[in-house]
Amino acid sequence: MAPSEGYLTMDDGLRLFYRTRGEGPATVIVPNGFYLGALEPLAEGRRLVLYDPRNRGLSDPLAGTSKEKAGIRQDVLDLEAVRRHLAVEVLDLVGHSYMGVTVILYAAHYPDHVNRVVQIGPLGPSPDREYPAHLTSADAVLRDVMARLARLQEERASLDPEELCRKAWSVLRPLYVADPAAADKIDWDRCDLPNERGFMQYWSQCLLPSIRDLHLTDRDLEAVRMPVLTVHGRKDRSAPYGGGREWALRLPNARLLTVENAGHAPWIEARETVFAAIGAFLDGAWPEGAEEVLRL
Protein backbone atom coordinates (compact mmCIF):
# COMPACT_ATOMS: atom_id res chain seq x y z
CA MET A 1 0.00 0.00 0.00
CA ALA A 2 1.35 3.48 -0.89
CA PRO A 3 2.14 5.63 2.12
CA SER A 4 -0.30 8.31 3.18
CA GLU A 5 1.06 11.35 4.93
CA GLY A 6 0.11 14.75 6.22
CA TYR A 7 -0.24 16.78 9.38
CA LEU A 8 -2.21 16.21 12.56
CA THR A 9 -3.15 19.25 14.62
CA MET A 10 -2.56 18.96 18.37
CA ASP A 11 -4.80 20.40 21.07
CA ASP A 12 -2.76 23.62 21.19
CA GLY A 13 -2.76 24.11 17.40
CA LEU A 14 0.76 22.79 16.72
CA ARG A 15 1.00 20.32 13.81
CA LEU A 16 2.81 16.99 13.75
CA PHE A 17 3.88 15.38 10.49
CA TYR A 18 2.94 11.70 10.05
CA ARG A 19 3.12 8.90 7.52
CA THR A 20 1.31 5.55 7.44
CA ARG A 21 2.26 2.31 5.73
CA GLY A 22 0.39 -0.97 5.36
CA GLU A 23 -3.05 -1.97 6.50
CA GLY A 24 -4.54 -4.49 8.86
CA PRO A 25 -6.50 -4.83 12.08
CA ALA A 26 -3.60 -3.75 14.32
CA THR A 27 -2.11 -0.25 14.43
CA VAL A 28 1.52 0.22 15.48
CA ILE A 29 2.52 3.79 16.30
CA VAL A 30 6.19 4.79 16.32
CA PRO A 31 6.90 8.32 17.60
CA ASN A 32 10.06 9.80 16.07
CA GLY A 33 10.37 6.72 13.90
CA PHE A 34 11.24 8.10 10.47
CA TYR A 35 14.90 7.07 10.73
CA LEU A 36 13.87 3.50 11.56
CA GLY A 37 13.55 2.57 7.89
CA ALA A 38 14.06 -1.07 8.77
CA LEU A 39 10.61 -1.03 10.39
CA GLU A 40 8.95 -1.22 6.99
CA PRO A 41 8.53 -5.03 7.17
CA LEU A 42 6.31 -4.51 10.21
CA ALA A 43 3.74 -2.86 7.92
CA GLU A 44 2.87 -6.25 6.44
CA GLY A 45 -0.57 -7.08 7.79
CA ARG A 46 -0.58 -4.04 10.09
CA ARG A 47 -1.04 -0.29 9.88
CA LEU A 48 2.29 1.30 10.76
CA VAL A 49 2.19 4.99 11.76
CA LEU A 50 5.37 7.05 12.06
CA TYR A 51 5.32 10.66 13.18
CA ASP A 52 7.70 13.48 14.06
CA PRO A 53 7.22 14.79 17.61
CA ARG A 54 6.90 18.52 18.10
CA ASN A 55 10.11 20.40 17.41
CA ARG A 56 11.44 17.41 15.44
CA GLY A 57 11.66 16.60 11.75
CA LEU A 58 8.88 18.11 9.64
CA SER A 59 6.60 18.90 12.58
CA ASP A 60 6.08 22.45 13.78
CA PRO A 61 8.77 24.02 15.97
CA LEU A 62 7.93 25.21 19.46
CA ALA A 63 9.27 28.69 18.77
CA GLY A 64 10.02 29.53 22.40
CA THR A 65 6.62 28.64 23.83
CA SER A 66 6.13 27.53 27.42
CA LYS A 67 5.41 24.03 26.11
CA GLU A 68 9.15 23.52 25.67
CA LYS A 69 9.71 22.91 29.36
CA ALA A 70 7.08 20.16 29.44
CA GLY A 71 9.44 18.07 27.33
CA ILE A 72 8.68 14.39 27.43
CA ARG A 73 5.40 14.87 29.29
CA GLN A 74 4.14 16.95 26.37
CA ASP A 75 5.24 14.17 24.02
CA VAL A 76 2.98 11.81 25.98
CA LEU A 77 0.01 14.18 25.61
CA ASP A 78 0.74 14.51 21.90
CA LEU A 79 0.82 10.73 21.48
CA GLU A 80 -2.66 10.56 22.98
CA ALA A 81 -3.81 13.30 20.57
CA VAL A 82 -2.33 11.32 17.65
CA ARG A 83 -4.29 8.24 18.79
CA ARG A 84 -7.53 10.21 18.92
CA HIS A 85 -6.96 11.81 15.52
CA LEU A 86 -6.32 8.41 13.95
CA ALA A 87 -9.43 6.99 15.66
CA VAL A 88 -7.51 4.04 17.11
CA GLU A 89 -9.01 2.56 20.27
CA VAL A 90 -6.18 0.15 21.12
CA LEU A 91 -2.68 0.38 19.69
CA ASP A 92 0.79 -1.13 19.83
CA LEU A 93 3.76 1.14 20.50
CA VAL A 94 7.42 1.07 19.44
CA GLY A 95 9.86 3.57 20.96
CA HIS A 96 13.61 3.89 20.42
CA SER A 97 16.09 5.69 22.70
CA TYR A 98 14.36 8.44 24.73
CA MET A 99 11.08 7.54 23.04
CA GLY A 100 11.44 4.20 24.83
CA VAL A 101 10.64 6.22 27.95
CA THR A 102 7.78 8.09 26.26
CA VAL A 103 5.93 4.92 25.28
CA ILE A 104 6.13 3.58 28.85
CA LEU A 105 4.82 6.86 30.28
CA TYR A 106 1.98 6.74 27.78
CA ALA A 107 1.17 3.15 28.72
CA ALA A 108 1.16 4.13 32.41
CA HIS A 109 -1.24 7.03 31.83
CA TYR A 110 -3.48 5.42 29.16
CA PRO A 111 -3.29 1.65 29.80
CA ASP A 112 -6.72 0.97 28.32
CA HIS A 113 -5.48 2.11 24.92
CA VAL A 114 -2.31 -0.01 24.78
CA ASN A 115 -2.03 -3.63 23.70
CA ARG A 116 1.76 -4.19 23.55
CA VAL A 117 4.89 -2.05 23.88
CA VAL A 118 8.34 -2.41 22.33
CA GLN A 119 11.32 -0.47 23.62
CA ILE A 120 14.51 -0.44 21.54
CA GLY A 121 17.69 0.76 23.26
CA PRO A 122 15.70 2.83 25.77
CA LEU A 123 17.11 5.28 28.24
CA GLY A 124 16.76 3.68 31.66
CA PRO A 125 14.03 4.55 34.15
CA SER A 126 16.71 6.34 36.21
CA PRO A 127 18.68 8.20 33.51
CA ASP A 128 21.43 9.41 35.84
CA ARG A 129 21.98 6.04 37.48
CA GLU A 130 25.51 4.69 37.23
CA TYR A 131 25.40 0.99 36.39
CA PRO A 132 28.23 -1.48 37.05
CA ALA A 133 30.90 -1.63 34.36
CA HIS A 134 29.57 -4.87 32.86
CA LEU A 135 26.23 -3.15 32.20
CA THR A 136 27.72 -0.22 30.31
CA SER A 137 29.99 0.31 27.34
CA ALA A 138 32.05 3.27 28.52
CA ASP A 139 34.96 2.34 26.29
CA ALA A 140 37.65 4.09 24.26
CA VAL A 141 35.21 4.77 21.40
CA LEU A 142 32.90 6.67 23.75
CA ARG A 143 35.80 8.68 25.17
CA ASP A 144 37.02 9.54 21.68
CA VAL A 145 33.57 10.67 20.57
CA MET A 146 33.19 12.92 23.60
CA ALA A 147 36.63 14.45 23.04
CA ARG A 148 35.90 15.11 19.36
CA LEU A 149 32.55 16.71 20.22
CA ALA A 150 34.30 19.02 22.67
CA ARG A 151 36.74 20.08 19.95
CA LEU A 152 33.85 20.65 17.55
CA GLN A 153 32.25 23.03 20.05
CA GLU A 154 35.30 25.25 19.65
CA GLU A 155 34.62 25.46 15.90
CA ARG A 156 30.90 26.06 16.02
CA ALA A 157 31.07 29.85 15.68
CA SER A 158 32.78 29.47 12.29
CA LEU A 159 30.28 26.94 10.88
CA ASP A 160 26.81 27.46 9.46
CA PRO A 161 24.08 25.43 11.22
CA GLU A 162 23.76 22.73 8.57
CA GLU A 163 27.52 22.23 8.32
CA LEU A 164 27.78 22.05 12.11
CA CYS A 165 24.97 19.48 12.21
CA ARG A 166 26.63 17.27 9.60
CA LYS A 167 30.01 17.48 11.32
CA ALA A 168 28.42 16.61 14.66
CA TRP A 169 26.79 13.54 13.17
CA SER A 170 30.06 12.46 11.55
CA VAL A 171 31.48 12.42 15.07
CA LEU A 172 28.45 10.80 16.72
CA ARG A 173 27.83 7.87 14.35
CA PRO A 174 30.36 5.44 15.93
CA LEU A 175 28.56 5.92 19.24
CA TYR A 176 25.48 4.05 18.03
CA VAL A 177 26.97 0.81 16.73
CA ALA A 178 29.10 -1.81 18.45
CA ASP A 179 31.57 -1.96 15.57
CA PRO A 180 32.65 1.55 14.45
CA ALA A 181 33.08 0.10 10.95
CA ALA A 182 29.27 0.04 10.72
CA ALA A 183 28.96 3.74 11.60
CA ASP A 184 28.21 4.79 8.01
CA LYS A 185 24.93 2.87 8.23
CA ILE A 186 23.63 5.49 10.69
CA ASP A 187 21.76 7.99 8.50
CA TRP A 188 19.60 9.83 10.99
CA ASP A 189 20.96 13.35 10.69
CA ARG A 190 18.18 15.04 8.61
CA CYS A 191 20.39 18.12 8.77
CA ASP A 192 18.44 19.75 5.94
CA LEU A 193 15.61 20.34 8.45
CA PRO A 194 15.82 23.31 10.86
CA ASN A 195 14.31 21.30 13.73
CA GLU A 196 17.01 18.66 13.48
CA ARG A 197 19.80 21.21 13.22
CA GLY A 198 18.63 22.58 16.56
CA PHE A 199 17.89 19.27 18.24
CA MET A 200 20.90 19.12 20.56
CA GLN A 201 19.93 22.41 22.20
CA TYR A 202 16.32 21.23 22.55
CA TRP A 203 17.57 17.94 23.99
CA SER A 204 19.90 19.48 26.57
CA GLN A 205 17.64 22.35 27.64
CA CYS A 206 14.20 20.73 27.52
CA LEU A 207 13.95 16.99 26.89
CA LEU A 208 16.74 15.68 29.12
CA PRO A 209 15.79 17.86 32.13
CA SER A 210 12.17 16.71 31.79
CA ILE A 211 13.30 13.06 31.81
CA ARG A 212 15.53 13.61 34.84
CA ASP A 213 12.54 15.14 36.66
CA LEU A 214 10.41 11.99 36.30
CA HIS A 215 11.70 10.06 39.36
CA LEU A 216 9.67 7.00 38.42
CA THR A 217 8.63 4.77 41.32
CA ASP A 218 7.38 1.19 41.18
CA ARG A 219 3.93 2.54 41.92
CA ASP A 220 4.16 4.78 38.83
CA LEU A 221 4.81 1.67 36.73
CA GLU A 222 2.09 -0.55 38.23
CA ALA A 223 -0.40 0.33 35.48
CA VAL A 224 1.93 -0.93 32.73
CA ARG A 225 0.60 -4.48 32.90
CA MET A 226 0.45 -5.12 29.18
CA PRO A 227 3.37 -7.10 27.69
CA VAL A 228 6.52 -5.03 27.15
CA LEU A 229 9.47 -6.24 25.09
CA THR A 230 12.72 -4.39 25.72
CA VAL A 231 15.30 -4.90 22.97
CA HIS A 232 18.77 -3.74 23.98
CA GLY A 233 22.24 -4.05 22.48
CA ARG A 234 24.71 -5.24 25.09
CA LYS A 235 27.30 -2.77 23.74
CA ASP A 236 25.04 0.30 23.78
CA ARG A 237 27.22 3.35 24.51
CA SER A 238 24.37 5.87 24.33
CA ALA A 239 21.76 4.28 26.62
CA PRO A 240 23.50 1.77 28.91
CA TYR A 241 22.43 -1.86 28.68
CA GLY A 242 21.77 -1.73 32.41
CA GLY A 243 18.83 0.59 31.73
CA GLY A 244 17.18 -2.04 29.53
CA ARG A 245 17.67 -4.64 32.23
CA GLU A 246 16.18 -2.27 34.81
CA TRP A 247 13.05 -1.70 32.74
CA ALA A 248 12.52 -5.44 32.31
CA LEU A 249 13.12 -5.95 36.04
CA ARG A 250 10.76 -3.22 37.25
CA LEU A 251 7.85 -3.44 34.81
CA PRO A 252 5.13 -5.95 35.82
CA ASN A 253 5.01 -7.90 32.54
CA ALA A 254 8.25 -7.30 30.64
CA ARG A 255 11.03 -9.35 29.09
CA LEU A 256 14.43 -8.41 27.75
CA LEU A 257 15.90 -9.43 24.42
CA THR A 258 19.65 -8.91 24.65
CA VAL A 259 21.32 -8.37 21.28
CA GLU A 260 24.95 -9.38 21.52
CA ASN A 261 27.57 -7.39 19.59
CA ALA A 262 25.11 -4.56 18.92
CA GLY A 263 24.85 -0.99 20.11
CA HIS A 264 22.18 1.70 20.41
CA ALA A 265 20.77 0.84 16.98
CA PRO A 266 20.68 -2.97 17.27
CA TRP A 267 18.76 -3.39 14.02
CA ILE A 268 21.83 -2.11 12.16
CA GLU A 269 24.02 -5.03 13.22
CA ALA A 270 21.36 -7.68 13.86
CA ARG A 271 18.47 -6.77 11.56
CA GLU A 272 16.98 -10.24 11.20
CA THR A 273 17.15 -10.98 14.91
CA VAL A 274 15.63 -7.67 15.97
CA PHE A 275 12.75 -7.47 13.52
CA ALA A 276 11.87 -11.14 13.67
CA ALA A 277 11.60 -10.75 17.45
CA ILE A 278 9.49 -7.59 17.23
CA GLY A 279 7.23 -9.15 14.60
CA ALA A 280 6.67 -12.25 16.72
CA PHE A 281 5.97 -10.14 19.78
CA LEU A 282 3.43 -7.94 17.98
CA ASP A 283 1.77 -11.13 16.74
CA GLY A 284 1.20 -12.14 20.36
CA ALA A 285 4.18 -14.28 21.45
CA TRP A 286 7.32 -13.71 23.45
CA PRO A 287 10.19 -14.09 20.99
CA GLU A 288 12.85 -16.74 21.42
CA GLY A 289 15.58 -15.49 23.72
CA ALA A 290 13.46 -12.93 25.59
CA GLU A 291 14.25 -13.36 29.29
CA GLU A 292 12.45 -12.51 32.48
CA VAL A 293 14.92 -10.34 34.36
CA LEU A 294 15.15 -11.15 38.06
CA ARG A 295 18.18 -9.01 38.89
CA LEU A 296 20.36 -6.41 37.25
List the chain domain ranges.
4-136+205-282, 140-193
Q: Which alpha helices (DSSP H) does 7-160 contain, by range?
A: 72-85, 99-109, 140-155
The confidence band for 3, taking pLDDT boundaries of 50, 70 and 90, is: low
The confidence band for 245, taking pLDDT boundaries of 50, 70 and 90, is: very high
As a whole number of Å, the CA-based R_g of the chain is 18
What's the CATH superfamily of 4-136+205-282?
Alpha/Beta hydrolase fold, catalytic domain (3.40.50.1820)
What is the number of residues in the chain? Answer: 296
pLDDT for residue 38: 72
281 close to 118: Cβ distance less than 8 angstroms: yes
Residues 6+ apart with CB under 8 A from 147: none
The confidence band for 1, taking pLDDT boundaries of 50, 70 and 90, is: very low
**Which residue, among 96, 90, 95, 85, has the nearest Cα to 7 in the 3D structure?**
85
* Dihedral angle sign, alpha carbons of residues 116, 118, 122, 124: positive
Q: Which alpha helices (DSSP H) does 161-287 contain, by range?
A: 161-172, 194-197, 199-202, 208-212, 218-221, 241-250, 266-269, 271-282
180 close to 174: Cβ distance less than 8 angstroms: yes
Q: How far apart are CA 141 and CA 134, in angstroms?
A: 16
Say what percent of the chain tops pLDDT 90. 85
pLDDT for residue 30: 97
Whether this model's pTM surpasses 0.85: yes
pLDDT for residue 40: 79
In the predicted model, what is the mean pLDDT of the chain? 93
Single-letter amino acid, residue 23: E
Residue range 247-282, pLDDT digits in tens:
999 999 999 999 999 999 999 999 999 999 999 999
pLDDT value at 66 more than 60? no
